[in-house]
Amino acid sequence: MTLTGRTAGLLMIGAGILVGLAAGAWIIAGAADDESGLRLSGAVFAGALLFIVLVLPLVAGGIFLYVRGGAEAQQFANAARQRKMLGIVESAGQISIADLALQLSGTRDSVRADLYDLVSKGLFAGYVDWDRGVLYARQASELRGQQTCPNCGGQVSLAGKGLVRCPYCGAEIFLP
């Protein structure tokens, strides 16, 4: 089992609190004991020093790791969703966007955003007919250098990095 940033953060926060409580109890016990010779000013100084040197860095570092771990968890969830999307589309070859959104527990817009992200990373090649709501996976060798739309046969034009758009039917062809 891997130790995530959130878990490490919680452990550090807990360690900081435990160290603070133990140090506080030790200082209070020393100040209450007349034989120890610990004065109130010394107890306050020791408490402040332990707080600044041990407790504060542990708790602050724990909070930082906890917050950063949340961002990492979101990135891992996005990557897992996109990996699942690639697997579904490539194994099916053709799938409706509505079915894909249902299988990914997302929306049409989230499928579109993930698809554009995968295309920009060079991980997906295929085309989509947004009007009919169908996504097609194609081998890159079949699409590279293609001058006609695989959907309607019309002349296609470059629309962006890795994206060719058919002005006739609106199909978007994604190139790696």
pLDDT at 153 > cutoff 70: yes
Separation between Cα atoms, residue 146 and residue 159, nearest integer Å: 14
157-160: strand order across its sheet: 94-96, 134-137, 126-129, 172-174, 163-165, 157-160
SS3 148: strand
Residue 62 pLDDT more than 90? yes
Tell me what the pLDDT averaged over the chain comes to.
83
Is the pLDDT reported for residue 37 higher than 60? yes
Length of the chain counted residue by residue: 176
Contact 55, 20 (CB under 8 A): yes
For the four alpha carbons of 77, 80, 86 and 91, in that order, the dihedral sign comes to negative
Is pLDDT larger for residue 88 or for residue 36? 88
pLDDT at 141: 42
pLDDT digits (tens, 9 = 90+) for 95-127: 888 999 999 988 989 988 998 888 888 888 788
Cut 0.85: pTM above it: no
